[in-house]
Each structure stands twice: as C-alpha cells, then as structure tokens.
Structure 1
Amino acid sequence: MPVSLSKAFPKLKGIVEKYQDFWYEETLPAKYTLLQEGDVSNTLYFIVKGCIRLSNNYNGKEITIQFFFENEFVSSFESYLKNTPSDFSIETIEECQLLVIKKENWKTIMDQNPLFREMFFDFTSDRFINYIHHFLSYIQEKPEERYQNLIKNKSHILQRVPLQYIASYLGITTVSLSRIRARKQPK
C-alpha cells in the first residue's frame, strides 16, 4: 500500500514493501483534528497529499508552530517518543491523503532497520532545527523581517495556508499581516 513512501524514499523501497501491512491509508477533510493538545500521540502520519499544521493553545490563543506538506512525516514527536501528553494539536488545513502507522508497528520497523532509523533521525533533526530557527526569529527579527524570510525561504506556505494561520505562525495579528503585505505590494 505505501507506494508513496517508496517514491519519496527510493532507498527504502524494500523496507517499505516488507512492512506494507503496518500502514493504512486515510483521506481526511480540511480542518480535521488528528491530535488534540493534552492527548498522547500514538500515531505517525506520512502526508501523501495535503497540508497540516501543528499548533499550541496559549491562554485561549491558538499559535501555529509548524506546517507540513507532501512527503513529510507528522506527529507530536515529543509525545510520540516519550509517551507523554502532547503540547500540540495537529489539524489538517486542506483535505489530506495520509499513510498512517501505529507506534508499536513503527517501533518494529525502527528496531529491525538501521536505514529507516537513520532516515527518521534525519527528518526529526531537520524538523527541530527548523523549529529552533523559527523560535529565534521571534527574538531576533521584527514581524516584517519574519514575513520577508517566509517569502524568501518558504513561499509555498503563502499559496496554500490561510492568512490567519500565517499570521499566527509569524506571531502577529491578521490585521498586522495585512498591513505588512500592503506595504510590500508593488505600486
């Protein structure tokens, strides 16, 4: 079943085929909650098609932490790896086609396949490095600079993600984002 995994990671084709029964496919509508903050994450998702966001609720205000797109894995990894309540919610932004695997099956693959374990480590390392850069941007940059960096480095987000989530991701209001965008429009 996980043909999409084989395409995304050709080096893993044999491993994917060996464990294909561990995966199942789900198609979910936009605005579907995959994980609620406070629940323990026992599932890992691979995005075949669609867009997902990771968010945190701070004093009743939802803050978008990261976005995920095709050929990326998504979970609340801290919760998934440590079996603790998640600090994050995970929600689809668009209709999503996902490959899903339960934690116990994922652990079997990881234990039996060093190459798969290495790929997972690389992915999670990249994810945490991106998160650290995003966190530092809140400290070191003004909102307009964060928006310019988003245009420069992750412009695909602007085409697929609603403005309220982009504003939240940048740490500003939608009104502030509209003003920044208006100033950046060619006259």
Structure 2
Amino acid sequence: MLFHFKTQFPELNVFWDKYLEFQTRLEIPAKTVLLEEGKISQQYIFIEKGCVRTFFNNNGNDKTVQFFFENEGLASLESFVNNIPSQFTIETIESSVVYLLPKQYVTQLLHELSQVPDFMQLLLQIFSRRLTHYTKELVSFIRDTPEERYQNLLSERPHIVQRVPQHYIASYLGVSTVHLSRIKSKLAKGKPHF
C-alpha cells in the first residue's frame, strides 16, 4: 500500500533500495501466516510473487477482507501505526515470495521520503485511492446483492476469480461456497450461446 511508488514512481526506488539490506526475503508456501490477528504489526510486507489475503475470525469462520498480489505492499495499518493488536490475520494463499521491512526502517524511509518534493502529495493520492476503493466496497456490500458483487469482481478484478480459491472468494463476498456455486451456475446459464 505505502510503497506502490516502486512501480508507479521508479525515480523514488533509490530510497527503497537503500533499505534492501534491512529486508528479509522469504520464499514461503501457501497458508503461511505473516501476521496473526491480535498481534501487533511490526513489519511492512511487500509481495514480489504470490497472493496474500487479510481476514478476521468471526465466531470460528474466516471473513476475508482483501486480496493482495505482485508488486503490492501491506501491513495491518492501524496496528502498524498505533501499536495496537491487529484486527486481521495476513496469510499467503499461494506459494509466495515476500519481503519484510521492520517498522523502524519503514519510519526512517518515510522520513527520508518526506524530504522529497511532492512526496506528501503522492502519499495522499495513494491513501485517497485506497480509501476510495474500501469505501466503494463497503457501499457495494450494503447496496448490492451477492450476485452483483460477484459480477463486479468478474468485470473489475477478474484476476481474483482466476487465482483465488472459491472458498476465499465466497468468504470475501459474504456468502457460502454453495451460494457462490449457485451464483456462478445462474450466470453461466444466462450467457448467450453462439
């Protein structure tokens, strides 16, 4: 999240590269927990390869909140910034390659970047985009039917449907896997045949 500039603003990579020696590179299998719900987030996670999800436990059931893929970064932000227990677990869905940068170095990096002209404006744009995305998802969850939410996923982020196991997609949409199968079946029947 914070460091989307790696691909969008390559001129800032010189700052990121200064901190490579403080990062831990991990090649990890699917279902590896990178942060457990209730623990304090102390690492910024950058995904080189793979897929990661955030979720929370709701009376024994996982509720998936978000998916992250290559060249994206994340932390349990509120936990990371405020030193409070994370509301989410962060776990790999696929075999992944991730980099972990400890909080103290993230703080130093952000301090250095704050001296770069227009960096704060860039940071605000990144946070604004992320907030807009989450707001749109919240409104969709309240307003749209599960079928509409699935269709939105297919049209706006088809890579999730292609790469993420169905039970995680069902959890993300707030439906059972059986309900998701019904939605997919109904949509398949509605397709025109040529």
Q: TM-score, normalised by structure 2?
A: 0.87
| Rounded Cα–Cα distance in structure 2 between residues aligned with 1:149 and 1:50 | 23
By how many angstroms is 1:8 displaced?
Answer: 6.0
Of the structure 1 ranges 106-115 and 36-45, higher mean CA displacement relative to structure 2 is found in 106-115
| Rounded Cα–Cα distance in structure 1 between residues aligned with 2:66 and 2:109 | 26
Which residue of the partner structure matches residue 20 of structure 1? 20
By how many angstroms is 1:10 displaced?
Answer: 1.1
Which residue of the partner structure matches residue 134 of structure 1? 137
Q: Count the aligned residue pairs.
A: 183
Which residue of the partner structure matches residue 90 of structure 1? 90
Which residue of the partner structure matches residue 156 of structure 2? 153
Indicate if the aligned counterparts of 1:110 and 1:117 stay in contact, CA closer than 8 A: no
By how many angstroms is 1:18 displaced?
Answer: 2.6
Which residue of the partner structure matches residue 102 of structure 2? 102
Distance 1:7 1:150, change over 3 A: closer
User: Equivalences for 1:47-86 in 2 at 5 Å?
Assistant: 47-86=47-86
Which residue of the partner structure matches residue 32 of structure 1? 32
Q: Deviations over 1:117-165 (max 9, x none)?
A: 6555544433332222111111100111001100110110001100000
User: Equivalences for 1:111-126 in 2 at 5 Å?
Assistant: 111-114=111-114, 115=116, 119-126=122-129
The secondary structure found in structure 2 opposite 1:26 is: strand
Indicate if the aligned counterparts of 2:16 and 2:109 stay in contact, CA closer than 8 A: no
- AA aligned to 1:150 is L
By how many angstroms is 1:74 displaced?
Answer: 1.3
| Rounded Cα–Cα distance in structure 1 between residues aligned with 2:151 and 2:62 | 23
Indicate if the aligned counterparts of 2:47 and 2:73 stay in contact, CA closer than 8 A: yes
Indicate if the aligned counterparts of 2:40 and 2:84 stay in contact, CA closer than 8 A: yes
Which residue of the partner structure matches residue 187 of structure 2? 184
Indicate if the aligned counterparts of 1:66 and 1:131 stay in contact, CA closer than 8 A: no
* RMSD, aligned CA: 1.8
- Is 1:166 aligned to residue 147 of structure 2? no
| Rounded Cα–Cα distance in structure 1 between residues aligned with 2:46 and 2:166 | 25
The secondary structure found in structure 1 opposite 2:34 is: strand
| Rounded Cα–Cα distance in structure 1 between residues aligned with 2:157 and 2:6 | 25
| Rounded Cα–Cα distance in structure 1 between residues aligned with 2:120 and 2:88 | 24
Q: Structure 1: 5+ residue runs without aligned partners?
A: none
Distance 1:117 1:149, change over 3 A: same
| Rounded Cα–Cα distance in structure 2 between residues aligned with 1:6 and 1:180 | 38
By how many angstroms is 1:6 displaced?
Answer: 5.1
| Rounded Cα–Cα distance in structure 1 between residues aligned with 2:126 and 2:29 | 26
Q: Deviations over 1:50-108 (max 9, x none)?
A: 00000011122210000000111111011001110000000000011112100001000
Distance 1:49 1:117, change over 3 A: farther
- AA aligned to 2:181 is S
Q: TM-score, normalised by structure 1?
A: 0.90
Q: Structure 2: 5+ residue runs without aligned partners?
A: none
